[in-house]
Structure 1
Amino acid sequence: MEVDENDTVIGENGDVFVHRLKELSEEEKTRLDAQNNRLIPEAKAAKLEREAKRHWDIFYKRNETKFFKDRHWTTREFQELINFDADQRIVYLELGCGVGNMVFPLVQEGFTNFYFYACDFSPRAVEFVKANKLYDESRMKAFCADVTSEDLFEHVEENSVDLASLIFVLSAIQPASWPQAARTAFRALKPGGILLFRDYGRYDMAQLRFKPGHKIADNYYMRQDGTRSYYFSEDELAKLFVDAGFEILMNTYVQRRTVNFKEGIDVPRIFVQGKYRKPTLDG
């Protein structure tokens, strides 16, 4: 990595790590203002929350395993995944595993010293994980659990996990439930264990593209299929995880471009990325 004249960090793949909000153009400000013209009624927002599991199950029924790409970038972005002795047993927990887009690339890369727990809100997603040819019950366990409840600890002991991840998961959860999700991760981790985080950042192009009639609350939206998405600032994430008891190792915006020359696509994206550690018993 290299640091430019504005103290931003430029990654090897062109990702730019910055600690400041994107400055909006006048056109972008107009787009955001227009979203307030027709907000989703409270009754409909409450119904979306009640039916969240059904909407995600329908999503996976429609898309199966074809929508999200496998996350082969995680070992590049999160060195914590590879900074272990090869004979050291590592317990890894993916909170919100979807169809296994993070777990199975790690399996393919030969992480033979890892034991994988993979949980998701959607029973259908978990079925797809178990149906994957790489699923091996001797070194992984997939199960359905709501990270905002006590479900997880029916399958995973408290203080037993070396590494956990929340990758594009928290944004799909209503903001009032974030503290519980953060506490769930904290309880699962061993002292010294690390939570790896990545999600949608404030003023990402996807946020700017929402039309009136999709906004639930500030920075929180309903997609066409009934699933929901929030767009985070680094400050609110820092507060969330510190309040849950974590120490911050990394908490920043990531700016990148999604480019497909064949399709004529060049889209700026903004994510938030974090690494949060559960303090050791000796402080």
Structure 2
Amino acid sequence: MTENNLELQLEKKCSIETLDSLPDNYVSSAKQSISNVSSGVPEFWQNKYTKEASKNWDKFYKRNGNRFYKDRHWTTREFPELLSLNGKTILEIGCGVGNFILPIMNEFQLAKVYACDFANSAIDILKENELYRNGNDENRLAFVANIVEDNLLETISADSVDIVSSVFVFSALNPDSMKKAIKNIYNILKPGGIILFRDYARYDAAQLRFNSNNKINDNFYVRQDGTFAYYFERDELQSLFHECGFKCQYSDYVLRKTTNHKQQMNLDRIFLQAKFIK
């Protein structure tokens, strides 16, 4: 079960620069919980999961279709840059079945929209969506691409994109491959172009649920379906993008207090939200 399977209800949300605002003893307890879990995934399986990453996500979308994730209408609230896209070019990496990009495509019909994912089934489902089919062929293109292995310049011109969105994407990559993906994105962004980033953060409730059978390395896990989950720390994330030529405009932890009604559990979801500029 992935963390996204949880039926969650939002109770409150806040943004902070450090994790000191978490409840007393939460961080120390989380650290202890994580340190008690040893790495138990053999190297053979680590390599296999990395090699078959796109295949495992392809199976995921074939199994779940467009039923798993809800459309992400919150993105324009969190990222004001998305409120004025007409006349601009945007690329969503790891677009899945279009839960982020389709609402944008519908609202900003004069924007040039690219969307890529390394799961063939996800792109097939996206292209069947009525919002995509009714769009202007000149203004939208969904395509299959692995941002680690495939050169984005084969599809998108250099220095041509205003905004790249990365919403829960980098956590699905092997950490050893992240810099290669960032440099790939750098090549297609205009000078002054931005990356809008949101992903899982250290000590998120979902991280605390993993055991040694899931743990590959520090803060890096594999789910039962073979997909990866990495949990970022703020300074680490900033350094990662800085080393690839980006400046960080801001990066904050986003705390969400949620309730899983099925399991009658209160959960502390912790994400990182950031904006990086070329």
- TM normalised by structure 1 equals 0.87
Residue 151 of structure 1 and its aligned partner are, at CA, apart by 3.1
Residue 28 of structure 1 and its aligned partner are, at CA, apart by 3.3
Query: Structure 1 residues 154 and 39 mapped into 2: Cα distance closer, same or farther (>3 Å)?
Result: same
Aligned to 1:114: 111
In the alignment, is residue 19 of structure 1 matched against residue 20 of structure 2?
Answer: no
Residue 114 of structure 1 and its aligned partner are, at CA, apart by 1.0
Aligned equivalents of 2:148, 2:262: Cα separation in 1: 41
Aligned to 2:185: 185
Matched positions, count:
261
**Partner SS, residue 134 of structure 1:** helix
After superposition, the C-alpha distances for 1:144-178 in whole angstroms (9 at most, x for unaligned) are: 01111343222111100011111100001001111
Residue 113 of structure 1 and its aligned partner are, at CA, apart by 2.2
Query: Structure 1 residues 83 and 31 mapped into 2: Cα distance closer, same or farther (>3 Å)?
Result: same
**Partner SS, residue 205 of structure 1:** coil
Aligned equivalents of 2:59, 2:273: Cα separation in 1: 28
Q: 1:47-86 alignment to 2 at 5 Å?
A: 47-83=48-84
Aligned equivalents of 1:261, 1:43: Cα separation in 2: 38
Aligned equivalents of 1:252, 1:133: Cα separation in 2: 35
Aligned to 2:37: 35
Identity of aligned residues (%): 44
In the alignment, is residue 255 of structure 1 matched against residue 217 of structure 2?
Answer: no
Greater relative contact order structure (CA < 8 Å, 6+ sep): 2
In the alignment, is residue 215 of structure 1 matched against residue 215 of structure 2?
Answer: yes
Query: Structure 1 residues 48 and 255 mapped into 2: Cα distance closer, same or farther (>3 Å)?
Result: same
- TM normalised by structure 2 equals 0.88
After superposition, the C-alpha distances for 1:205-248 in whole angstroms (9 at most, x for unaligned) are: 00001122110000000101110100000111100111111111
Q: Give 1:50's aligned amino acid.
A: K
Query: Structure 1 residues 176 and 260 mapped into 2: Cα distance closer, same or farther (>3 Å)?
Result: closer
RMSD of the alignment, in Å? Answer: 1.9
Contact 1:165 1:196 (8 Å CA) reproduced = yes
Q: 1:167-246 alignment to 2 at 5 Å?
A: 167-246=167-246
Query: 137-146 vs 115-124, which deviates more?
Result: 137-146
Contact 1:200 1:272 (8 Å CA) reproduced = yes
Which sections of structure 2, spanning at least 5 residues, go unmatched?
A: 1-10
Contact 1:197 1:275 (8 Å CA) reproduced = yes
Aligned to 2:97: 99
